[in-house]
């Protein structure tokens, strides 16, 4: 959520920045400033009314002690009027604050100056491309055929147990999944990230804190009886561990990692692009979260990007890094880099990670602050990234590393899987 003082001070700059998202925010900004002005005027009147009431309360006793009964009674009557007025003003202030809050939460984050204006993924900027496309055997198959042929994933059994988008991993498919999770966690902890196992369900406050609510409510699985949400990513519970906290500046950067299953409704998804592991309702992911000083957040972002790139290098997967344009960025992001791996059998790029800097947008919603050298509290910057999302990594590993007679496992995973090749 954008800070109201920033909107007051940088109105034109914010409107120009949001134009990169193809959003004309002029009317929204004007409405926010109007609501803010009304709230501030009401607050001033309430403060003055309460101050007058407090002053009268002291005077009434003094008037009675001095025998000035008529003046004391008049003061009591005035005090009663002020009490009623203060109730009216408090209600008006609450309404004005709610109106302002509702307007603020509907406004997305402003893109970083490096973000290109664009409408869709077609306008994203390719920053880097690494690795060569593999040469596959003539009888190469997409992963949904390989997983069936080698007994790695049973999609139909998942449909029987739950429904489409909930696969069941079997035998070496399950071991490969577990191996990747452990490999990612080991690499993350070696890079200074503290490992957590967070809850897989969160309350409404947590969904709001990281920006999933109310923006992505339709994509989340909701349990109305308990008003809990199944997490779409570990970013939500891990970042919310620091909600309503004043962290120590000397602890920066605060780096966390977690493995969780993730749940996304993905309503309306259909077609060839969602076959097999390409899009699921439940999938595994290892996440990294970074809370840092505002002056350091873009250096931290570059380090996180380099860390994810190293994981893909070691997995021997060709990939590219994209800087997302304004129209393709998430609601809360100021700058996002997407990683896509090449799926050789499908002959298309598959997104496997997004690494984002949210600047103060999440921290403002979370009330996540630190005390600066000036002894005042300031909002932290928050960042997160997938390191990595497993379904499309598994898809690319199987497709890109298929050989005559089996599927090659990258060397870095051998100690985790206990096998070097998957054979029939």
Binding site feature residues for L-serine: 233, 264, 287, 384
366 vs 360: CA distance, rounded Å: 10
Buried b / exposed e over 142-160, threshold 16 CB at 10 Å, is bbbebbeebebbbbeebee
Helix (H, G, I), strand (E, B) or coil at 278: coil
CA-to-CA dists, residue 109 to 35, 75, 77, 209, 343, angstroms: 19, 51, 50, 14, 32
- Tokens read off for 237: 């519970």
Rounded Cα distance between 72 and 62, Å, is: 8
- Backbone φ and ψ of 117, nearest 5°: -75, 135
Binding residues: 233, 264-266, 287, 351-354, 384
Which residue, 177, 240, 230, 169, is CA-closest to 208? 240
Helix (H/G/I), strand (E/B), else coil: 332: coil
Task: Using alpha carbons, list the distances in angstroms from residue 29 to 7, 106, 327, 332.
Answer: 8, 11, 19, 17
Residue by residue, DSSP assigns 193-237 as PEEE---SEEEHHHHHHTT-TTTTGGGS-EETTTTEEE-SSTHHH
| Annotated binding-site residue numbers for ATP | 264-266, 351-354
In sequence order, what are the residues at sequence separation of 6 or more whose Cβ sits closer than 8 angstroms to the Cβ of residue 202? Answer: 228, 229, 231, 236, 237, 240
């Amino acid at each position: 959520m954008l800070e109201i003082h920033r909107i007051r001070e940088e109105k034109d700059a914010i409107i120009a920045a949001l134009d990169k998202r193809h959003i004309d925010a002029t009317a929204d900004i004007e409405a926010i400033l109007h609501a803010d002005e009304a709230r501030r005027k009401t607050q001033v009147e309430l403060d003055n009314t309460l101050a007058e009431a407090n002053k009268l309360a002291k005077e009434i006793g003094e008037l009675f002690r001095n025998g000035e009964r008529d003046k004391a009674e008049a003061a009591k009557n005035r005090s009663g009027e002020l009490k009623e007025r203060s109730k009216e003003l408090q209600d008006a202030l609450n309404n004005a604050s709610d109106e302002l809050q509702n307007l603020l939460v509907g406004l997305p984050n402003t893109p970083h100056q490096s973000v290109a204006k664009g409408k869709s993924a077609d306008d994203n900027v390719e920053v880097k491309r690494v690795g060569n496309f593999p040469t596959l055997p003539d009888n190469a198959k997409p992963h949904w055929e390989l997983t069936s042929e080698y007994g790695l994933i049973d999609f139909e059994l998942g449909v029987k147990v739950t429904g489409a988008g909930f696969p069941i991993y079997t035998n070496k498919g399950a071991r490969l999944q577990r191996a990747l999770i452990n490999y990612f966690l080991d690499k993350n902890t070696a890079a200074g990230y503290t490992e957590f196992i967070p809850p897989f369900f969160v309350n409404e406050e947590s969904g709001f804190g990281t920006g999933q609510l109310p923006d992505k409510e339709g994509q989340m699985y909701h349990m109305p009886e308990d008003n809990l949400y199944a997490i779409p990513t570990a970013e939500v519970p891990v970042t919310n561990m620091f909600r309503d906290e004043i962290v120590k500046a000397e602890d920066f950067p605060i780096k966390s990692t977690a493995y969780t299953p993730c749940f996304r409704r993905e309503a309306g998804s259909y077609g060839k692009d969602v076959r097999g592991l390409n899009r699921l309702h439940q999938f595994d992911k290892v996440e990294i979260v970074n809370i840092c000083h505002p002056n350091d957040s873009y250096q931290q972002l570059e380090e996180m990007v380099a860390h994810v790139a190293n994981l893909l290098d070691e997995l021997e997967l060709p990939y590219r890094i994209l800087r997302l344009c304004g129209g393709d960025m998430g609601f809360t992001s100021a700058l996002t880099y997407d990683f896509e791996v090449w799926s050789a059998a499908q002959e298309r790029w598959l997104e496997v990670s997004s690494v984002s800097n949210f600047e103060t947008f999440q921290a403002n919603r979370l009330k996540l602050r630190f005390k600066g050298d000036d002894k005042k509290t300031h909002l932290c910057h928050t960042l997160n990234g997938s390191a990595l999302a497993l379904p499309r990594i598994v898809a690319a590993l199987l497709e890109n590393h298929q050989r005559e007679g089996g599927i090659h496992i990258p060397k870095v995973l051998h100690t985790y899987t206990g096998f070097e090749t998957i054979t029939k």
